[in-house]
Copies of this chain bind each other. A is one copy, B any other.
Amino acid sequence: MKKNEISILGAGLIGSLLSIYFKKRGLDVTIFEKRADNRQQEYKEEGRSINMALSDRGWRALDKIGLKEKIMPLAIPMYGRKIHDEHGKTSFIPYGKENQAIYSISRGKFNRILIDEAEKAGVNLAFAHRCEDVDLRSNTLTFFHNNGIKNVTSEVIIGADGAYSSLRMAMQKQVRFNYRQEYITHGYKELTIPATVNGEFALDPNALHIWPRGKFMLIALPNPDKSFTCTLFLPFEGTKVCFEKINDKDDVAAIFKTYFDDAYQLMPNLTEEFLANPTSALINIECYPWVQGKSLLIGDASHAMVPFYGQGMNCGFEDVFVLDSLIDKLGTNVWELVFAKFQKQRKPDTDAICQLALENFVEMRDAVSDPKFLIRKKIEAKLHALYPNDWIPLYTMVTFSTMPYAEAYAQGKLQEQIMDKVMANPLITQNWDKLDYEDIIDQLDAAKAV
């Protein structure tokens, strides 16, 4: 039985990127992927979103190995949220300063490029290897491959195999492994707004479109082919508008006409798509430890999050970047030490972003439709413009900086308390531009000092 130096489970975005990082250090790396090599085919997978939103943390990880320029042409910048009310009226809320954007990118295309790059770099690719078991004492991987069983031992095992990780499943049977998987009450369904008959985008392509409706919402992200991928988030059951109660074409049309009429006009294939496409669930996973000897969980395998902060992939890429920075310092001869430091440093940050992702769902589907929310964002933008180092809006800290998520979370909570007080002023809508901004910063400094 051959012994691999490094075995990575999963040729998804995180596993592929990590393999390139390792290979650049001259390590012998093999990726085992349960799917067949389908790089020549159209990407299609149930239960995972089609579009991703790349932001600063993701770009930094691509940049360190020289892939940023290669990926940029595939990505469409979105400079803010475009909110659609029930009458089709829209308003725009910028994400950050001018030129700050998150980038819509197709998961499938992006993943194919990363696998190609890994292959070019010399990573061994083992497709159609379904991991059945991991023996953590001997670091032996058992795969189902070519209708038979295949065992591989490995010096180091990295589980980049996502929310249903085989490595984590093996770790879960170990004593003192804490684990939590929780599905939220909402599911989602992907739909399409195609390009217009003139071959143009049907909506402004440089925004993330949101139809916030309180307990539910629709969003849309642009694609290079001038279509939009829409995602409808609804409760599975138990409310007036929920997946359980949408059973035929009439139900679909009625819901869309009532709540999303402007989008409905742009969706000629809506009812067919709705009934054909799966309804998927949304999971949050937290666990600890991530390490067992020389085995490590990374990305969704250790911290799958709901998609509402657009940080799942960015956080996974930052995992890779942080791990690599530790290897820069400590080298490749002390894996246990590197992994131990990695999980200790990284766990508070992934806990923070998992929590923020859960909280941001309420903001997206509900708060953004409140006129006061827009005022609040304007006040925060002005504070940031006046005091760029003292007041950084939470969204900016998460999306347009590489500040540790846990720090962003803590500072965000302080700022939130102060903003709640500011917004309690009954005349805030008229007065927001004439506030004593210096006093607000003083309040923040005082809160930080506690």
Chain A residues with CB under 8 Å of chain B are 47, 164, 172-173, 175-183, 236, 281
Contacts and interface: CB of A to CB of B under 8 A. Distances in A.
Given A164-B173, A173-B164, A180 B179 contact: yes
Contacts of A236: 176
B175 A183 contact: yes
Contacts of A176: 183, 236, 281
20 contacts: A47-B175, A164-B173, A172-B181, A175-B183, A175-B281, A176-B183, A176-B236, A176-B281, A177-B181, A177-B183, A178-B181, A178-B182, A178-B183, A179-B179, A179-B180, A179-B181, A179-B182, A180-B180, A180-B181, A180-B182
Which of A176, A180, A236 has the most chain B CB within a 10 Å cutoff? A176
A293 B278 CA distance: 21
A308 to B, nearest CB: 18
A175 B176 CA distance: 25
Instruction: Please list the 7 inter-chain residue pairs (A to B) with the smallest Cβ-Cβ separation, ordered nearest first.
Output: A180-B180, A176-B183, A175-B281, A178-B182, A179-B181, A176-B281, A178-B183
A235 to B, nearest CB: 12
Nearest to A176: B183
A24 to B, nearest CB: 35
Contacts of A178: 181-183
Contacts of A182: 178-180
Contacts of A172: 181
Contacts of A47: 175
A255 to B, nearest CB: 22
A172 B172 CA distance: 11
A164 B164 CA distance: 18
A403 B172 CA distance: 35
A288 to B, nearest CB: 10
A180 B281 CA distance: 18
A280 to B, nearest CB: 8
Contacts of A164: 173
Nearest to A236: B176
Contacts of A173: 164
A181 B180 CA distance: 6
A176 B187 CA distance: 10
A84 to B, nearest CB: 30
A164 B173 CA distance: 7
A305 to B, nearest CB: 16
A425 B148 CA distance: 74
Which of A47, A172, A173, A236 has the most chain B CB within a 10 Å cutoff? A172
Nearest to A286: B180
Contacts of A183: 175-178
A47 B175 CA distance: 10
Given A175-B281, A179-B179, 12 more contacts: A47-B175, A164-B173, A172-B181, A175-B183, A176-B183, A176-B236, A176-B281, A177-B181, A178-B182, A179-B180, A180-B180, A180-B182
A112 B175 CA distance: 27
A175 B178 CA distance: 20
A227 to B, nearest CB: 28
Nearest to A280: B175
Nearest to A164: B173
A178 B180 CA distance: 8
A180 B178 CA distance: 8
A233 to B, nearest CB: 15
Nearest to A178: B182
A344 to B, nearest CB: 14
A189 to B, nearest CB: 14
A148 to B, nearest CB: 15
A181 to B, nearest CB: 5
A281 B176 CA distance: 7
A173 B162 CA distance: 13
A178 B184 CA distance: 9
Nearest to A172: B181
Contacts of A180: 179-182
A170 to B, nearest CB: 11
A359 B178 CA distance: 19
Contacts of A177: 181, 183
